[in-house]
C-alpha cells in the first residue's frame, strides 16, 4: 500500500505540473457508436490528434502507458530487469529491451528530424500528447483503470515520447526484431554466456505475421465500382492491436478505419472516394554487413583496407537497485549484433552489423496523411512513392471509379540483385531466405544512392513493384510477383522477396477462391464480387491443405485397423475450421507434422501453373509410411490431451473474457486458411495470439462508402469496459457491423452522449 500511495502522489504532482503547461485552443468532440467506435470531429488536425488520443486512452490507457515506458527504456525500472517482454517475434528480458531503446533511439536527432515533417504531422503529434494528458487529468489517479492504477509509469507524456513511439513502429520489421541480438553484442571473451550462445534468427512463419488484402475493380464487382477486402493478421494482445475510429474535419478530411497505438489517424480505412488496406510485405528492410576485424583489436574493422574504430556507447539503464551500465558497439553500417546459433558470432576475425532502412523514418505519418486525403488510387500511389514513408507493408487500394492498386513500395535498402551477388560472403547463401548479408570490408558494398529519394540509400519507388488493374490485385504476404496470376510481375531485386518459386498455401488459397468467385464455381449465382460474397469468402474457413491431401490420406488409412477411428473422424469432417467443425483439431495436429515432411508432393511446383502446384500427395513408399505415422501420432496426442477425435474446433480454440469462454473460428495460415488464427498452447487449449484483427469490406454506392467490418478482439483491453469482448462475441458468430459514416448514420447508431473536449 505504501508504494501505491507514493505512486499516486507522484502522478498527482505530475498532472498538476502538466496542467500549468497544457496547450491552449484545443477542441474535439467524440461520439461513440455500436461497439464503442469513436467518431472524432475537430476544426483542425491538432484537434484530431487531441480527440484520437483521448478516445484511444479511454479504451487502452494501461497498454499505451506501458508502451511509452518501453520506448523510454524504463521497463527494468518499473517491471524488473529479468522479466520478459516482446518487441518482435521472441520474448526478451527487459534489460535487453531498455538497452536497445536507449542505444538505438537518438532523441536529439529524432527532434531535429521531427521539425522536417509537415505541419499537419506535427499538429497531429502535438494534439495527441495533449489528448492523452487531458484524459489523465480528467481521470485523476484514483480512476485510472485497475490494471495500472497507482503505477509510476502511468504519467503525462511529451512530444519526445511520441517521437520514440513512432520510431519503434517504423523499426518493427527490421532492427526491432533483432533487439536482443543488438543488446547482447560484445567482443569475443573467454567466458561463455549460454543466453547469448542460444541466440538465433526468429522464425517469421512460426510467428504468423501477415495479412490478406484484395482489391476488386470495375471488371469484377457487381456495381462496377472498386471494393476492398482487408484482413490484417496482427497480435491479439499488446500495442500492435488495431483500434477502430473515424476522424472528420469538415471540408478537409473524413476517414474511417483502424489504427495502432500512438498513431493519430487511421492507417487502414476509407473515405468517400477510396479504400485501402495493408499486408506485411516480403521485402527485407535491413541488411547485415559482415565486418572484417583489425587483427590488433576486435573493436576495429577494416573498410577498403583501412582500420576504423567502432563507436562505443555506454548506456545507463535505470533499475530499482540502481543504474546498470551496458555497452553497445556501432559501426559505420549500424549497431553490432550477435546470433551464434545462426552462425553470426563476434570472433577475433569477423563481426556483424545491421543497418535498417526505417531508422529515422519519421515520414510515415505524412504518408498516411496523404492516403487519408486521397481521392483516387493515383493519389494513394503518389503519397506512397513520394514519401517512401510506408515502413514495412504493401498498400492495396480501390476507388469508386473501379481502379485498383498494389504498391509494394516501402523504405527498403537500395541493393540490386547484382550487388547481392557481388558482395556475398560465405555466410550469405545459407541465410539468404532470412537475411541479406553483404561484405562490409568494401565500401562499394554499401547501399547505392539514387537521386530523388528522401534519404540516401533507399531504393527508389521506380525499382519497386507498382501494379494498377481494373480486375483485381491480391496479396497474402508472398512477394509482389503473383499479385494477379494473369500477369505475373517482372522479377525484381531479391531484397523485395522471392519470385518464380512456390507460393504459400494461404496465397494460393486466396487466388483459388478469387478465381472460383469470378468463374461462378463457388456456389453463388453470379460471377461478380459484392459485399455478400466477400463476407462469405472471408469467413468460409476452408483449408487448402485438406483440399489437397485429405482424400489421399483417407486412402492411406482405410486398411489400417489402428487408424480406423481417426480415418472415420476425418471422413466425417466438413473440412472447415468453423467452431462446430468436428475433426478439425485432428487434422490441425496431423498437419503440424505432415507439413514438415520433405518429398510429400507428387506434382512439383510448375512455373506454368503456380497457383495449383505443388499438389498430389505421395501415397507410396516411405512418404506414405510417414504420413500414416503422422496421423497415428496426431490421434495419440488428442487422446493423451483428453479430447475425443471428433472434438469440435470451438472446444479447443477459444478465448476467455471475464470468465466467459468464446470459441474462435479460423486456423493457422500454413493450413491454407484465409481466416488466420495463430494460437499458442495453454495447457491443452489453443489460445489465439495473432491473426484476424480488423476486417473491412468496403465498396461504394452513388453517395459514398458502404462498409462492413468487425474487430475480432474488440476495442478495449480493459476488462471493466463494455467494449472489452462485445466484438469478439460478434466475430465468433460471424456477425458483421455496417459502419455508420454519414452524420445521419452516426446519429442512428449513437451510444451515449457526445463528449465535447475543449481547453
Name the residue ranges covered by the structural domains of the chain. Answer: 2-205, 286-356+415-445, 544-673
The per-residue pLDDT for 2 is 31
Nearest to 353 by CA among 190, 181, 176: 181
Element at 107 (helix H, strand E): helix 107-114
Which listed residue (104, 211, 679, 716) is catalytic?
211
| Segment 318-340 mean pLDDT | 97
> Locate cell 475450421: which residue?
577
Q: Is the pLDDT of residue 192 over 80?
A: no
Q: Is the pLDDT of residue 88 over 70?
A: no
576 secondary structure, DSSP code: B
In the residue annotation, 211 being an active-site residue is answered as yes
pLDDT tens track for 124-179: 999 999 999 999 999 999 999 999 999 999 999 999 999 999 999 999 888 999 99
Q: Residue 206 — very low, low, confident or very high, per pLDDT cuts 50/70/90? A: low
pLDDT tens track for 575-629: 999 999 999 999 999 999 999 999 999 999 999 999 999 999 999 999 999 999 9
189: Cβ–Cβ under 8 A, 6 or more apart, which residues? none
Fold (topology level) of 2-205: Penicillin Amidohydrolase; domain 1 (1.10.439)
25 secondary structure, DSSP code: S
CA distance 533 to 327: 56
Q: What percent of the chain has pLDDT over 90?
A: 92
pLDDT tens track for 268-326: 999 999 999 999 999 999 999 999 999 999 999 999 999 999 999 999 999 999 999 99
The per-residue pLDDT for 267 is 98
Yes or no: say if 261 and 241 are a contact pair by the CB < 8 Å rule. yes
Q: Is the pLDDT of residue 208 over 80?
A: no
490 secondary structure, DSSP code: P
Q: Is the peptide bond before 278 cis (omega within 30 degrees of 0)?
A: no
Q: Is the pLDDT of residue 655 over 50?
A: yes
CA distance 322 to 31: 46
97: Cβ–Cβ under 8 A, 6 or more apart, which residues? 70, 73, 75, 85, 87, 179, 183
pLDDT tens track for 617-632: 999 999 999 999 999 9
How distant, in Å, are the alpha carbons of 267, 550, 627 from that of 555? 48, 9, 11
pLDDT tens track for 710-741: 999 999 999 999 999 999 999 999 999 999 99
Q: Is the pLDDT of residue 10 over 50?
A: no
Burial status of residue 103 (CB atoms within 10 A of its CB: 0-12, 13-18, 19 or more): buried
| Segment 194-217 mean pLDDT | 79
**How high is the mean pLDDT of the chain?**
94
Q: What percent of the chain has pLDDT over 70?
A: 95
The per-residue pLDDT for 193 is 74
CA distance 563 to 554: 10
Q: Which long-range contacts (CB under 8 A, 24 or more apart) does 483-488 make?
A: 483/406, 485/511, 485/515, 485/610, 485/611, 488/610
Would you give the distance in Å from CA 30 to the centre of its chain?
A: 27
Q: Which residues of 177-198 are buried (b: 16+ CB within 10 A; e: fewer)?
A: bbbbbbbbbbbeeeeeeeebee
The per-residue pLDDT for 20 is 39
Q: Which CATH architecture has domain 286-356+415-445?
A: Roll (2.30)
Query: Same CATH fold, 286-356+415-445 and 2-205?
Result: no
Q: Residue 707 — very low, low, confident or very high, per pLDDT cuts 50/70/90? A: very high
The per-residue pLDDT for 19 is 38
Q: Which CATH code is given to the segment(s) 544-673? A: 1.10.1400.10
The grid coordinates of residue 645 equal 477425435
How open is the CA angle 58-64-67, to the nearest 5 degrees? 175
* DSSP H helices in 410-504: 417-422
The per-residue pLDDT for 519 is 97
Element at 588 (helix H, strand E): helix 584-594
Amino acid at each position: 500500500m505504501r508504494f501505491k500511495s507514493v505512486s499516486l502522489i507522484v502522478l498527482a504532482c505530475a498532472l498538476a505540473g502538466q496542467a500549468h503547461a497544457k496547450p491552449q485552443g484545443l477542441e474535439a468532440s467524440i461520439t461513440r457508436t455500436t461497439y464503442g467506435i469513436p467518431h472524432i470531429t475537430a476544426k483542425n488536425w491538432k484537434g484530431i490528434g487531441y480527440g484520437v488520443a483521448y478516445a484511444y486512452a479511454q479504451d487502452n490507457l494501461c497498454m499505451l502507458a506501458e508502451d511509452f515506458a518501453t520506448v523510454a527504456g524504463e521497463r527494468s525500472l518499473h517491471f524488473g530487469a529479468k522479466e520478459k517482454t516482446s518487441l518482435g517475434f521472441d520474448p526478451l528480458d527487459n534489460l535487453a529491451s531498455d538497452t536497445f531503446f536507449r542505444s538505438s533511439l537518438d532523441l536529439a536527432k529524432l527532434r531535429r528530424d521531427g521539425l522536417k515533417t509537415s505541419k499537419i504531422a506535427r499538429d497531429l503529434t502535438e494534439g495527441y500528447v495533449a489528448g492523452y494528458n487531458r484524459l489523465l487529468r480528467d481521470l485523476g489517479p484514483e480512476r485510472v483503470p485497475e490494471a495500472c492504477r497507482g503505477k509510476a509509469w502511468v504519467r503525462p507524456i511529451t512530444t519526445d515520447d511520441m517521437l520514440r513511439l513512432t520510431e519503434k513502429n517504423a523499426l518493427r520489421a527490421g532492427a526491432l526484431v533483432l533487439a536482443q541480438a543488438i543488446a547482447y553484442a560484445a567482443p569475443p571473451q573467454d567466458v561463455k554466456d549460454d543466453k547469448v550462445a542460444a541466440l538465433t534468427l526468429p522464425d517469421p512463419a512460426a510467428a504468423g505475421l501477415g495479412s490478406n488484402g484484395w482489391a476488386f475493380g470495375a471488371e469484377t464487382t457487381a456495381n462496377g465500382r472498386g471494393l476492398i477486402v482487408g484482413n490484417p493478421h496482427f497480435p491479439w494482445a499488446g500495442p500492435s492491436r488495431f483500434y477502430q475510429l473515424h476522424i472528420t474535419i469538415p471540408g478537409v478530411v473524413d476517414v474511417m478505419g483502424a489504427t495502432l497505438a500512438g498513431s493519430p489517424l487511421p492507417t487502414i480505412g476509407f473515405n468517400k472516394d477510396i479504400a485501402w488496406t495493408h499486408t506485411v510485405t516480403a521485402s527485407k528492410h535491413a541488411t547485415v554487413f559482415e565486418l572484417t576485424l583489425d587483427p590488433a583489436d576486435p573493436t576495429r574493422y577494416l573498410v577498403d583496407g583501412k582500420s576504423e574504430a567502432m563507436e562505443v556507447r555506454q548506456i545507463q539503464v535505470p533499475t530499482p537497485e540502481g543504474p546498470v551500465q551496458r555497452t553497445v558497439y556501432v559501426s559505420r553500417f549500424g549497431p553490432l549484433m550477435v546470433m551464434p546459433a545462426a552462425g553470426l558470432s563476434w570472433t577475433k576475425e569477423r563481426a556483424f552489423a545491421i543497418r535498417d532502412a526505417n531508422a529515422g523514418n519519421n515520414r510515415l505519418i505524412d504518408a498516411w496523411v496523404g492516403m487519408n486525403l486521397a481521392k483516387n488510387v493515383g493519389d494513394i500511389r503518389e503519397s506512397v512513392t513520394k514519401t517512401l514513408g510506408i515502413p514495412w507493408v504493401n498498400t492495396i487500394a480501390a476507388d469508386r471509379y473501379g481502379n485498383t492498386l498494389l504498391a509494394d513500395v516501402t523504405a527498403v535498402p537500395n541493393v540490386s540483385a547484382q550487388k547481392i551477388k557481388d558482395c556475398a560472403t560465405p555466410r550469405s547463401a545459407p541465410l539468404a531466405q532470412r537475411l541479406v548479408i553483404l561484405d562490409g570490408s568494401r565500401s562499394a558494398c554499401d547501399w547505392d544512392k539514387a537521386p530523388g529519394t528522401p534519404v540516401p540509400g533507399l531504393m527508389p519507388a521506380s525499382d519497386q513493384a507498382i501494379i494498377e488493374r481494373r480486375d483485381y490485385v491480391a496479396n497474402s504476404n508472398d512477394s509482389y510477383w503473383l499479385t494477379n496470376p494473369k500477369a505475373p510481375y517482372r522479377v525484381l531485386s531479391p531484397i523485395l522477396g522471392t519470385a518464380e518459386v512456390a507460393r504459400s498455401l494461404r496465397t494460393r488459397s486466396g487466388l483459388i477462391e478469387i478465381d472460383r468467385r469470378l468463374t461462378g464455381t463457388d456456389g453463388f449465382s453470379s460471377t461478380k464480387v459484392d459485399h455478400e460474397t466477400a463476407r462469405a469468402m472471408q469467413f468460409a474457413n476452408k483449408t487448402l491443405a485438406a483440399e489437397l491431401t485429405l482424400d489421399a490420406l483417407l486412402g492411406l488409412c482405410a486398411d489400417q485397423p489402428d487408424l480406423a477411428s481417426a480415418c472415420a473422424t476425418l471422413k466425417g469432417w466438413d473440412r472447415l475450421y468453423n467452431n462446430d467443425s468436428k475433426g478439425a483439431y485432428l487434422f490441425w495436429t496431423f498437419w503440424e507434422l505432415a507439413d514438415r515432411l520433405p518429398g510429400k508432393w507428387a506434382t512439383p511446383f510448375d512455373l506454368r501453373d503456380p497457383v495449383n502446384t505443388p499438389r498430389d500427395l505421395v501415397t507410396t513408399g516411405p512418404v506414405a509410411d510417414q504420413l500414416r505415422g503422422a496421423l497415428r501420432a496426431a490421434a495419440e496426442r488428442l487422446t493423451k490431451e483428453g479430447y475425443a477425435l471428433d472434438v469440435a474446433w470451438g472446444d479447443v480454440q477459444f478465448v476467455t473474457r471475464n470468465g466467459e469462454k468464446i470459441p474462435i473460428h479460423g486456423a493457422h495460415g500454413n493450413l491454407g486458411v484465409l481466416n488466420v488464427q495463430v494460437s499458442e498452447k495453454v495447457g491443452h487449449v489453443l489460445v489465439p495470439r495473432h491473426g484476424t484483427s480488423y476486417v473491412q469490406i468496403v465498396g461504394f454506392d452513388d453517395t459514398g462508402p458502404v462498409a462492413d467490418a468487425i474487430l475480432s478482439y474488440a476495442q478495449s483491453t480493459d476488462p471493466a469496459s463494455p467494449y472489452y469482448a462485445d466484438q469478439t462475441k460478434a466475430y465468433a458468430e460471424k456477425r458483421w457491423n455496417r459502419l455508420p459514416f454519414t452524420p445521419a448514420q452516426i446519429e442512428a447508431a449513437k451510444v451515449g452522449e457526445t463528449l465535447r473536449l475543449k481547453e
